[in-house]
Amino acid sequence: MTLQGKTLFITGASRGIGLAIGKRAAADGANVVIAAKTTEPNLKLPGTIHSAADEIRGAGGQALALAVDIRDEGAVLDAVAQAVQAFGGIDILVNNASAISLTDTEHTPMKRYDLMNGVNARGTYLCTQACLPELKKAAAAGRNPHVLNLSPPLSMKERWFAPHTAYTMAKYGMSLCTLGHAGEFRKYGIAVNSLWPRTAIATAALQMIPGVDIKLCRKPEILADAAWCILTGPAGATGNFYIDDEVLAGHGVSDLDRYSVTPGTKQFIPDFFVD
């Protein structure tokens, strides 16, 4: 199975992991809806919805660039409508957009708390709700619909909360959507899963965090290939919290060196939330 002719609605796809997933789907000939906020170039965070659309087309797919703040219900509903008008429906939703602040309670202003929970938890819920009618149609048509949340396995251990309670709450909110929606949508034939990296991933956003050595990270393409494996799998595989290297190993990929920022690296920065 491939993603040829499938339509993916990907949040936060102007750069990084979201863009990599879009380009991997485009290589199959997929349609990719880029739902993200960045419309103008930024020296600190390169990539816009328009440059992403160019890369998607260059990779072999069709692209629709939409400026969307996923905290805005009206904007999300309008984006879904535009996606349906352009491509006839939505087969796959990738909830990738996320906000991060690795700060303790004393140093997390409520504005930042609201941003993280608004984008991560609420945004994921809203986009899933907005795309659900189209995903149900895709299921009825036998098009193997999926929702994939870029969120971690749920691990209720103090060490994942204490250093940055607000961020963990917001990120786990995405994972709670996976848990609940997998059960809720199973009767429709819609898969809902989470995907998370074993190691830190080299993205422009990560480079803005002090002290991170990008040379000890993997590239976003490891998540793109793992996502492809999940999204081309059966919709009956639902409610899973996948880790990228485990997904690839399950598909016979054991040599991951091509995903290393620095080839030959053996010790990587571990990502959060992986026990």
Residues involved in catalysis: 167
Q: Identity (one letter) of the amino acid at 173?
A: G
Burial class (CB in 10 A: 0-12, 13-18, 19+), 200: buried
Sheet holding 191-196, edge to edge: 62-67, 31-36, 7-11, 92-95, 146-149, 191-196, 241-243
Q: Report the distance separating Cα 183 and Cα 190, nearest Å.
A: 10
Q: In the structure encoding, which two tokens stand for residue 128, read together?
A: 């899933």
Burial class (CB in 10 A: 0-12, 13-18, 19+), 257: exposed
CA nearest neighbour of 202 among 215, 189, 191: 215
Q: Report the distance separating Cα 154 and Cα 247, nearest Å.
A: 18
Q: In the structure encoding, which two tokens stand for residue 240, read together?
A: 């899973």
Within 8 A by CB and 6+ apart from 101, the residues are 108, 112, 115, 116, 164, 166, 167
**For residue 141, what are the CA distances in angstroms to 26, 114, 145, 148, 256?**
22, 38, 10, 20, 36
Q: Locate tokens 């074993």: which residue?
A: 198
E strand residue ranges, 68-165: 92-95, 146-149
Q: Report the distance separating Cα 246 and Cα 141, nearest Å.
A: 31
